[in-house]
């Protein structure tokens, strides 16, 4: 079976998490989140985890080379032998270069970069409309798409609903600015290398999933030829 080494990127709120879960099931690929890797290695006290913790405790960003080292270790695991779905990395062109170098050292390469595109105003509408139960944060509503029966009150336990600080419009706009300045240049980077595949994230989750699944299935077929 040919490898499927994929990265998934797009603006915050584009639905990457939903699509990553579905692709993981469709193609039996491990979903590699840099945040999860970082927490696991710090918790396990690995050499890279210990180094990362030193930076985190000092309030500094973990250097790219440490993150790339963790990713390299992870994709070398047995469950990633036939491929992986990387989410949250790379975030800029320098990291993309480092990732390509790391994969080359393993005699592997990226199959595709999957981009979910959603306009800023739609992202703001999606995220700023979320309301979360103060008693159970897993009870989530949306003022437009999934409103509670009574405004501001959780249907399941009657607790108050609130808007999280990171769901406020000004915070979302700031996150989008960071995405546009740092991560968006990856669109041209991967387009030039022929790896970019675009998907319209304004469509429903099922339609987006069907499009991505068909594209990835075609990629796998092409890789096996």
Q: What is the pLDDT of residues 95-148, one digit of tens each?
A: 999 999 989 998 999 999 999 999 999 999 999 999 999 999 999 999 999 999
Concerning whether 91 is annotated as a catalytic residue, the answer is yes
Collapsing DSSP to helix, strand or coil, 201 comes out as: coil
Check whether domain 4-30+77-118+176-224 has CATH 3.40.50.720, yes or no: no
Residue among 22, 53, 91, 203 flagged as catalytic: 91
Q: What is the DSSP string of 141-186?
A: EETTTB--SBTTB-TTT-PBEE--GGGSHHHHHHHHHHIIIIITHH
Q: Is the pLDDT of residue 149 over 80?
A: yes
DSSP class of residue 80? G
- Largest separation between any pair of C-alpha atoms in the chain: 57
Q: Could you tell me the two tokens for 162?
A: 């609130």
Q: Could you tell me the two tokens for 27?
A: 């193609």
Concerning whether 126 is annotated as a catalytic residue, the answer is no
Contact 22, 216 (CB under 8 A): no
Residue among 175, 203, 213, 220 flagged as catalytic: 175
Residue 82: predicted pLDDT: 86
Concerning whether 131 is annotated as a catalytic residue, the answer is no
pTM reported for the whole predicted model: 0.87
Domain ranges of the chain: 4-30+77-118+176-224
Q: Length of the chain, please?
A: 225
Q: Is the pLDDT of residue 173 over 90?
A: yes
State the pairing for strand pair 130-133/140-142.
antiparallel
Residue 33: predicted pLDDT: 86
Best CA proximity match to 143, nearest among 170, 162, 166, 171: 162
DSSP class of residue 59? T
Residue 198: predicted pLDDT: 97
Q: Is the pLDDT of residue 1 over 70?
A: no
The residue with tokens 């706009």 is 173
Instruction: Give the residue-averaged pLDDT of 178-199.
Output: 95
Residue among 74, 108, 126, 130 flagged as catalytic: 130
Give the sign of the dihedral formed by CA 132, CA 166, CA 14, CA 9: negative
Concerning whether 203 is annotated as a catalytic residue, the answer is no
Contact 87, 115 (CB under 8 A): no
Give tens-digit pLDDT for 55-107.
Answer: 888 877 788 888 888 888 888 888 888 899 998 889 899 999 999 998 999 89
Concerning whether 175 is annotated as a catalytic residue, the answer is yes
Q: Which of 22-26, 35-39, 130-134 has the lowest mean pLDDT?
A: 35-39
């Amino acid at each position: 079976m040919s490898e499927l080494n994929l990265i998934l990127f797009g603006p915050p709120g584009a639905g990457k998490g939903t699509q990553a879960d579905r692709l993981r099931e469709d193609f039996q690929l491990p979903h590699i989140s840099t945040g999860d890797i970082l927490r696991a290695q710090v918790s396990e006290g690995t050499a890279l985890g210990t180094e990362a913790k030193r930076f985190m405790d000092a309030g500094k960003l973990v250097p790219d080379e440490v993150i790339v080292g963790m990713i390299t270790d992870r994709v070398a695991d047995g469950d990633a032998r036939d491929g992986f779905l990387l989410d949250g990395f790379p975030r800029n062109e320098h990291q993309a270069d480092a990732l390509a170098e790391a994969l080359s050292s393993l005699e592997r390469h990226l199959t595709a970069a999957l981009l979910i595109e959603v306009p800023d105003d739609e992202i703001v509408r999606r995220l700023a409309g979320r309301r979360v139960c103060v008693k159970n944060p897993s009870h989530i509503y949306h003022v437009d798409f999934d409103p509670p029966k009574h405004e501001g009150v959780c249907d399941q336990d009657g607790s108050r609903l609130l808007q999280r600080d990171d769901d406020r419009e000004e915070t979302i706009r700031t996150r989008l600015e960071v995405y546009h300045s740092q991560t968006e240049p990856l669109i041209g980077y991967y387009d030039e290398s022929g790896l970019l595949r675009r998907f319209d994230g304004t469509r429903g989750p099922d339609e987006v999933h069907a499009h991505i699944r068909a594209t990835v299935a075609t990629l796998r077929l092409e890789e096996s030829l």
